[in-house]
Amino acid sequence: MSEVLIQQNNLSEAVSYLKNYINETPKIAIVLGSGLSHFAEQLSDKIIIDNNDILNYPKSTVVGHSGKIIFGRIKDNKKTSPYLCCFQGRVHLYESGNIKLTSFPIDVAFKLGVETLIITNAAGGINKNYHPGDLMLIKDFLNLTFSSPLRGFLTSKTKSNSFFSQKLIDVAKNVASENKINLQEGVYCWTKGPCYETASEIKMMNFLGADAVGMSTTPEVMKANYYGMEVLGISCITNMGTGISKQKLTHSEVTEVANKVKEKFTTLMKEIILSIDSQ
Ligand code: HPA
């Protein structure tokens, strides 16, 4: 059996498994990157699925990526969000080397009926005006892996020539200003990893126009765009890139800083989701 067929079987198995647990169609999918999983814990009417219970579902091996899918919604005093599907953690290209696995959750989300994707990650700051703990809206990306999950797929359903939704960027900026949250906006550079960059690589990325660097997100965004979803990307700047910061970078520093921005990140996400509904 070909690789593509095996994937399709896995996809329909995963989708029917999940459909057994939910009575509604999720409208917004949220991918929660390194150290940012806590967001899903405050959903109401939660349904929690462990990826390990889904046959052949790609598993993350990275600390801070818990590997659960959580359905539910955000509620405040006045508003209730559309039904959400949160992916806690993800599989990176460096884990399996299989580009198709990196965007598998997006395939699942699309088949479940999701129309909007909010995707988050931890990233290293390249722009010297950034600081650890900043949140950055992703306006575009640089793909330094030169890989794509769209190999074998033809034209994308999206009409725009941008991978990210300007409407959602505007929603996020309004919400941030109402809640006095400082937001950066920049270009995300995708590398294969798993090692952090050298100081020379960070200089090169800066020269190419990148504001932040990380090892994820781009393949998921490409796939979501292919499906015609509206996409918003948010990076949590957990550290400054090698050479900008003189200290040696570690994964625990990344998750620690992500943990410190918990409150700001949660408020921003919550308010964005509630505002999408009111559009
Ligand atoms: N480089 C690559 N990926 C990252 C970084 C970094 O500095 N910080 C968090 N994820």
Do residues 266 and 39 lie in contact, with contact meaning Cβ atoms separated by under 8 Å? yes
Which entry of 37, 40, 57, 65 is annotated as an active-site residue?
A: 65
122 is catalytic: yes
What is the distance between the alpha carbons of residues 182 and 255, in angstroms, rounded to a whole number? 20
What pLDDT sits at residue 278?
A: 45
Pocket of ligand 1 contains residue 124 by CB under 6 Å? yes
pLDDT mean by block of 10 residues, the chain; 279 residues: 62 95 97 90 94 88 79 92 94 92 96 97 96 97 95 74 94 97 98 95 98 98 95 96 86 83 94 80
What is the distance between the alpha carbons of residues 261 and 135, in angstroms, rounded to a whole number? 9
Which entry of 251, 256, 259, 275 is annotated as an active-site residue?
A: 251
- In this structure, whether the domain defined by 3-276 belongs to CATH 3.30.930.10 is answered with no
Rounded distance from Cα 238 to ligand 1 centre (Å): 8
- The first and second tokens of residue 178, run together, are 């109402």
24 is catalytic: no
Q: Enumerate helices (H) and strands (E) in the chain, giving the number of each.
A: 9, 9
**Residue 31 C-alpha from the chain's centroid:** 4
CA distances (Å), origin 166, targets 163, 185, 211, 217, 232: 9, 12, 18, 18, 9
Taken in order 50, 135, 117, 192, is the CA torsion positive or negative? Answer: negative
Pocket of ligand 1 contains residue 196 by CB under 6 Å? yes
What pLDDT sits at residue 65?
A: 62
40 is catalytic: no
Q: Which atom of ligand 1 is nearest to the CA of 125?
A: 7
Rounded distance from Cα 20 to ligand 1 centre (Å): 37
Any residues with CB less than 8 A from the CB of 136 and at least 6 apart, and which? 123, 130, 183, 184, 185, 186, 188, 211, 212, 234, 235, 236, 237
Taken in order 267, 270, 276, 279, is the CA torsion positive or negative? Answer: negative
Rounded distance from Cα 45 to ligand 1 centre (Å): 34
Rounded distance from Cα 78 to ligand 1 centre (Å): 38
Within a 10 A sphere around the Cβ of 251, how many other Cβ atoms? 16
| DSSP-assigned beta bridge partners for residue 237 | 123
What is the distance between the alpha carbons of residues 126 and 40, in angstroms, rounded to a whole number? 29
Kindly report the protein residue whose alpha carbon is nearest to atom 10 of ligand 1.
123
The structural domains of the chain, with segments of one domain joined by +, span 3-276
